[in-house]
Chains A and B, each alone.
Chain A
Amino acid sequence: MDALPECPASGRGPLAVVRFLGLVLLGATVGAVAALFAVAFVSLVLALNDLLMISPRSRMMFDHAGLLLAATIAVPTLGGLVVGVLHRAIPERRPHAPADVIAAVQTRRGRLPARAGGLSALSALVSLGAGASVGQYGPLVHLGATLGSLGARLLRLGRSDDNITIACGVAAAIATAFNAPLAGIVFAHEVVLRHYALRAFAPVAAAALVGYVIATNVLQRGALFHVADTAVPRPWEFVAFLAIGGLGALVAGAYMHTILGITRLAGTLPIAAALRPALAGALLGLTALWVPDILGMGQETLRFATIAGAFGSAELLLVLVLKIAATGLCLGMGFSGGVFSPALVIGTLFGALCGSLIGQLSGAPQETFVFYAVCGMVAVTSPVIGAPLTSLLIVFELTGSYALTTAALASVTLASPIAAQLFGRSLFDMQLELRGLDLSAGRGRTVLRTTPVAEHLTDDCVTLDPQTPVAEGVTALCRARHGEGYLVDAQGRYRGCVSLADLVAAREAAAGPACVGGVSTLARPVLQPDTSLWDAMAMLQDVNGEALPVVDVTADDAFRGVVFESSIARAYLARSDELSREEHGTG
Chain B
Amino acid sequence: MALGERNRGLGSVVWLALFATAPSEADDGGLTVLSWGGAYERAQQAALFTPYTDATGTRIEVAQYDGGLEGVRRAVTEGEVPWDLIDMTRSEAMAACAEGLLEPLSPALLAPAPDGTPPEEDFLPDSFGRCAITHSIFATVVAYRRDAFPGTRPDSIGDLFDRQRFPGPRALQRTPAVNLEWALLSYRVPHEELYDLLSTRRGLDLALARLDELDEIRWWEAGDTPPQLLAEGEVVMASGYNGRFFDAMVNRGVPIDIIWDGQVQEHETWVIPHGAPNPEAARDFLRFATTTERLADLSRHIPYGPARRSAAVRVTTHPDSGVDMRLHIPTHPLNAERALAKDEAWYARTLERIHDYFRAWLAKREEQ
Contact = CB atoms under 8 A, between A and B. Distances in A.
Contact of B206 (A55, A59, A307): A307
B192 to A, nearest CB: 4
A226 B352 CA distance: 32
Given A299-B196, A303-B197, A310-B206, A61 B190 contact: no
Interface in A213-227: 220-223, 226
A222 to B, nearest CB: 3
Given A220-B192, A299-B193, A60 B209 contact: no
Nearest to A292: B200
Interface residues of A, number: 23
A300 B192 contact: no
A60 B350 contact: yes
Given A228-B188, A307-B189, A300 B200 contact: yes
A83 to B, nearest CB: 25
B200 A63 contact: no
B352 to A, nearest CB: 7
Nearest to B184: A307
B349 interface: yes
A512 interface: no
A452 interface: no
Given A226-B190, A303-B189, A307-B189, A55 B196 contact: yes
Given A57-B196, A222-B191, A304 B202 contact: yes
A501 B249 CA distance: 114
B192 A222 contact: yes
B192 A61 contact: no
B189 A226 contact: yes
Contact of B193 (A59, A300, A309): A300
Given A61-B346, A61-B350, A222 B193 contact: yes
Nearest to B194: A222
Contacts of B189: 222, 226, 303, 307
A529 interface: no
Interface in A302-354: 303-304, 307, 309-311
A284 B352 CA distance: 30
Interface string A35-68: 0000000000000000000011101111100000
Given A226-B190, A309-B209, A56 B196 contact: yes
Contact of A304 (B199, B203, B352): B203
A310 B198 CA distance: 13
Given A60-B350, A63-B349, A310-B206, A300 B190 contact: no
Contacts of B352: 63
Nearest to B158: A228
Contacts of A61: 199, 345-346, 349-350
B365 interface: no
Nearest to B200: A56
Interface in B207-250: 209
B202 A60 contact: no
B353 interface: yes
Nearest to B352: A63
B149 interface: no
A364 to B, nearest CB: 16
Contacts of A223: 190
A222 B203 contact: no
A368 B36 CA distance: 49
B195 interface: yes
A63 B203 contact: no
B187 interface: yes
Interface string A215-251: 0000011110010100000000000000000000000
B199 A60 contact: yes
B209 A57 contact: no
Interface in B249-284: none
A61 B192 CA distance: 17
B349 to A, nearest CB: 4
B193 to A, nearest CB: 5
Contact of A222 (B190, B200, B209, B353): B190
Contacts of A62: 349
B263 to A, nearest CB: 18
Contact of B199 (A56, A221, A228): A56
A61 B347 CA distance: 8
Contacts of B192: 220-222
A57 B346 contact: yes
Contacts of A57: 195-196, 199, 346
A487 B192 CA distance: 77
Nearest to B188: A226
A303 B196 CA distance: 10
In the complex, which of the residues B189, B190, B202, B345 has the most CB atoms of chain A within 10 Å of its own CB atom? B202
A223 B192 CA distance: 10
A60 B204 CA distance: 11
B94 to A, nearest CB: 14
Interface in A417-461: none
Contacts of B187: 307
A63 B197 contact: no
A311 B196 CA distance: 17
B188 to A, nearest CB: 4
Contact of A300 (B188, B191, B197, B349): B197
A311 B201 CA distance: 12
Nearest to A59: B199
A232 B66 CA distance: 52
Given A307-B187, A309-B206, A300 B196 contact: yes
A62 B352 CA distance: 12
Contact of A303 (B193, B199, B209, B350): B193
Contacts of B193: 222, 299-300, 303
Contacts of A63: 349-350, 352-353
A57 B203 CA distance: 11
Contacts of B346: 57, 60-61
Contacts of A56: 196-197, 199-200, 203
Nearest to B192: A222
A311 B189 CA distance: 16
A18 B57 CA distance: 71
A56 B346 CA distance: 11
A59 to B, nearest CB: 7
A226 B194 CA distance: 14
A57 B352 CA distance: 15
A514 to B, nearest CB: 90
5 contacts: A56-B199, A57-B346, A220-B192, A292-B200, A300-B202
Interface of A: 55-57, 59-63, 220-223, 226, 228, 292, 299-300, 303-304, 307, 309-311
Given A300-B202, A304-B197, 8 more contacts: A57-B196, A60-B350, A63-B349, A221-B192, A222-B190, A292-B200, A300-B193, A310-B202
Interface of B: 187-193, 195-200, 202-203, 206, 209, 345-346, 349-350, 352-353
3 A-B pairs with least C-beta separation:
A222-B190, A60-B199, A56-B199
